[in-house]
Chains A and B, each alone.
Chain A
Amino acid sequence: MAVIKKLSVWIGYLIVLLALPQFFDSILAISIFNQMAIAIVFALSYNMLLGQGGMLSFGHAVYFGLGGFLAVHALILIEYETVFFSIIFIPLIGGVIGLLAGIFIGSFSTRKAGTIFAMISLGIGELIAASSLIFVDFFGGEAGVSGDRTFGPTFFGVDFAQDLEIYYVAVFWVFIATVFMYLFTQTPAGRMANAVRDNPERAEFIGYSARRVRYISFCASGLFAGVAGGLFALNYEFITEENLNAITSGRVLLMAYIGGLGYFIGPIVGAVVLTLMNSLLSNYSELWMLYLGIMFVLTVMFLPRGFAGFIMMHQVAWVRGTLKQLALPYLITGIPASIFATACIAMVEMSQSEEEFFHFLSMELDPAAATTWIVTIVIAAASYYATRRSLGQLNDAWESANTIPEEGEE
């Protein structure tokens, strides 16, 4: 019974992946889906290190980028007919390079976890990113390297010129990568990775070299990051030094952390959310990175288990059927909180606006007028106060929904 339940989750996943373009078929949507696919594989690979292995890396983009660069070069080789194989296999090439890089770099970086590991990863990341600007022949310098994915052999008549065609290739790889990364967590290597994360000392006393265990996770995560890089190359047909450097490494850390490190599904959530923010918000506001930064810091402070963690917090209530008790309390807190956030955003945006009248939520506001500011500040202050006051009732509702009653009650 449990087997069928588990299998149905995976089948559902596959169906959702395949069916998405049916519901959202605009060019923009497909492009966003492709970005999500790349981000999902990348973030899941990162979580093999951080969430499951306890290794905080600031240089994970190296494996992504190297995979991507080799993939683009492979596209070029296909184009010039030096080699001949379908571009469907390109992510595999990215994966192989990611694995090789992981094997080499991991051989000396996995001795310790913690701060030392983080520093080594930062150093290696910067070293390789900086080196890529020196080795211009392979890395293309500041301009990067570009290729064309339409020159390979066709697949049942498809030449992969369209983003939608690439989407289905991406679905194939995302599904396989997710399955394999999940299965890894169910193997001795995967479980011992958790054990080493929790208590490296004890792990040694049950016969496992903590270093070796970390090394294996490290190599595996490099492999899948390389696959993500290969997908990136297929999608954009273009790659630069930025895909190797600390900015990209930081981005995947954000994705995994916001999504939730402690759950397998966390990075998937984070990847989806961040891709949406990146694509959609950037159209509405130039300041979306500022909002992202604020959201990230608030998540670290108040939601350390991420969005997935937040959802999973409700597991007990779900099982007990008391979830509906929480609906009204959440509303009572949620509404003033949303008003507060909206007012703050309005103030932030207004201060940047250079126009006479500032369009906000189908209202026209005059940023120069003092009244606009006074009103907004008052709204913000009032809603903040209301939110703080309402936290008490939310807390009480939470307690009652989660406490298991004594015998004879309820």
Chain B
Amino acid sequence: MSILSLKDVKKNFGVTEIIRGVSLDIEAGEKHAIIGPNGAGKSTLFHLISGLYNVTAGTIDFNDEEIQNKPPYEIARLGLARSFQVTNIFPRMNVFENVRCALLWSNGYRYSFWHLLGRQAELNDKAMHVLEQIGLRDKALFPSGELAYAQQRALELGIAIASGAELIMLDEPVAGMSHSEAENAVELIRRITEGKTLIMVEHDMNIVFDVADRISVLVYGEIIATDKPENIRANPKVQEAYLGEVAASA
């Protein structure tokens, strides 16, 4: 049962073709990594799925519902959450508020101006729980704009998973982290995506092979291979894409 289904998705910017016909089926509960050289269009693909960009052609189905060209907030409400390559939080609000805002819609608060947030015990508990999961509980009242980089990335993750979305998309979640920070982050990702579907863009091959059930390789806007990690490793087309023809024939 595929939770996310892309059929022949194309995206042009003017005359430049960035995504040239991507078809992909992601199974529910799967941990799927998307890898590829720089400029392949990985972030663009994320933007198309999450609603930031409109497709030039093709369809994207989420739980059998067409979501291409829908605005981001509609897609988010259906149960799809994402994080960003460049940290994208609410810098002037404290850590707790950041997470609480991410919880609001999925907990039924909509655009209410008659609920006082201080009194919403269940909501506040859930927010603290998320903070615990991401290890920022003691930084709850800290202004989020002043957190250290790795902590901001953790908060980024927290905002993405807070809503309880069933499909989580992470765009280079450990970029810029030291080795130990990345290890912790991967452990965190594993924990919080248990039972959910994960699509991850990542460059670090160790993490990719460690976490992913399947890997898709995106090169110049096209997927050249989708398979289990060990098969991808051995795939000549993939080797060629990364290392050039010489390595492939070696």
Contact = CB atoms under 8 A, between A and B. Distances in A.
Interface of A: 183-184, 186-192, 194-195, 197-199, 201-210, 212-213, 216, 220, 262
B112 A202 contact: no
27 contacts: A186-B116, A187-B115, A187-B116, A187-B117, A188-B115, A188-B117, A189-B111, A191-B100, A191-B117, A194-B97, A195-B101, A197-B92, A202-B84, A202-B89, A202-B90, A202-B159, A204-B71, A205-B50, A205-B73, A205-B81, A206-B101, A206-B102, A206-B105, A206-B163, A207-B106, A208-B104, A208-B105
A218 to B, nearest CB: 13
B147 interface: no
Interface string B36-59: 000000000000001110000000
A184 B117 contact: no
Contacts of A198: 90-93
B118 interface: yes
Interface string B71-111: 11100110001101000111111000100111011100111
Contacts of B97: 191, 194
Interface residues of B, number: 37
Interface in B127-176: 159, 162-163
Contacts of A197: 92
A220 B90 CA distance: 23
Contact of A187 (B51, B76, B88, B112): B112
Contacts of B13: none
A195 B90 contact: yes
Nearest to B79: A207
* Chain A interface SS verdict (over half): helix
Contact of B76 (A184, A195, A207): A207
A198 B104 CA distance: 17
B131 to A, nearest CB: 16
Contacts of B118: 186
Nearest to A207: B105
Contacts of B81: 205-206
A220 B114 CA distance: 13
A183 B114 CA distance: 9
A338 B109 CA distance: 52
Given A188-B104, A192-B101, A198-B93, A207 B73 contact: yes
A197 B105 CA distance: 18
Contacts of B162: 206
B82 A194 contact: no
A204 B117 contact: no
A205 B109 contact: no
Of B52, B117, B162, most A-chain CB atoms within 10 Å = B117
Nearest to A198: B90
Among all A-B residue pairs, the 6 with the closest Cβ atoms: A207-B105, A189-B113, A204-B72, A207-B76, A188-B109, A198-B90
Contacts of A188: 104, 109-113, 115, 117
A160 B118 CA distance: 40
A197 B97 CA distance: 14
Interface string B170-184: 000000000000000
A199 B88 contact: yes
B111 to A, nearest CB: 5
Of A195, A205, A210, A220, most B-chain CB atoms within 10 Å = A205
Contacts of B76: 204-207
Contacts of A184: 113
A207 B77 contact: yes
A189 B162 CA distance: 18
A198 B93 CA distance: 8
Contacts of A204: 51, 71-73, 76
A207 B71 contact: no
Given A192-B111, A202-B88, 18 more contacts: A183-B116, A184-B113, A187-B115, A189-B111, A189-B112, A194-B93, A201-B52, A202-B89, A203-B101, A204-B73, A205-B76, A205-B82, A206-B159, A207-B77, A207-B163, A208-B104, A209-B73, A213-B111
Contacts of B51: 204
B93 A195 contact: yes
Contacts of A195: 90, 93, 101
Contacts of B106: 207
A359 B239 CA distance: 90
A205 B71 CA distance: 9
B71 A192 contact: no
A197 B76 CA distance: 19
Nearest to B82: A205
Contacts of B50: 205
Nearest to B104: A188
Contacts of A199: 88-91
B45 to A, nearest CB: 16
Of B72, B88, B100, B163, most A-chain CB atoms within 10 Å = B72
A61 to B, nearest CB: 24
Contacts of B93: 191, 194-195, 198
A184 B111 CA distance: 11
A212 B72 contact: no
Contact of A209 (B71, B112, B113, B114): B71
Given A192-B101, A212-B111, A186 B159 contact: no
Contacts of B112: 187-189
A197 B93 CA distance: 11
Contacts of B88: 199, 201-202
A190 B116 CA distance: 10
Contacts of A220: 113
Given A186-B117, A205-B50, A194 B92 contact: yes
Nearest to A208: B73
A49 to B, nearest CB: 15
A216 B109 CA distance: 14
Nearest to B162: A206
B90 A194 contact: yes
Interface string B211-229: 0000000000000000000
